[in-house]
Every structure is written in structure tokens, then in C-alpha cells.
Amino acid sequence: MSLPKATQKLLANYGDPLPSHTFPNGYPLYYVDKLACILCADCANNAIKEELAGELWDECDLPIMCESHLEGPDMECENGGCGYKIEAAYEEDDGT
């Protein structure tokens, strides 16, 4: 079993297992898979673990990108049944 280059790069750049927040700033991180679905760190790590064990059903579930979520509405992990909320680092300025 081998991980796609983009996934290997994530692990090299961010650490293994993939973190849920940046260090040292503590910005929330989210991951994006090949189908442009949002993944929380747990689901991203699970997909990698399953792939390495030869158990991943669809390699499209592997994370290939990582972004920090700085502002805006909460994001939700789109992995089936997870629904983990990824909150932005800064509260939204609603102009009040």
C-alpha cells in the first residue's frame, strides 16, 4: 500500500498523525480529499490508516490538501456520518 504523493507531502509538512490545529498558532486545520470534500483531522488520519492497512474502500477519501480555517462560518466534516464542526480561528464580524 502506498499513499498518493499529495498525501505523503501532507504528512511530511504537517506531521503524522495530521494535526487538527496549527502549531504554535493554534489555527484550526481542515483537510480536503480528492473529491473536494472537507475532512476533519480524525477522518483524514483514519483514511490514511485504512489505506495503509489495505482497507480503504475508495482512495478518493484520502486527504490531499490542508488549509487553516481562519474566519467565516463553521465548516463541517463531510465524511459520511462524522459531521465534526471545524470552527474558524476568529469569530465572524457581523458588523455590530
Count CB-CB contacts under 10 A for residue 52.
12
| Residues 7-46 as x/- pattern, contact with Zn ion by CB under 5 A | ---------------------------------x--x---
Q: Kindly indicate which of the ranges 8-16, 46-54, 59-67, 69-77 contains the residues binding Zn ion, using the contact rule CB under 5 A.
A: 69-77
Report the alpha-carbon distance of residue 12 to residue 7 in Å, rounded.
9
Closer by beta carbon to Zn ion, 29 or else 40:
40
Distance CA 77, CA 21 (A): 15
Query: CA 19 to CA 41: how far, in whole Å?
Result: 6
Question: Which residues here bind Zn ion, judged by CB under 5 A?
Answer: 40, 43, 77, 79, 82, 84
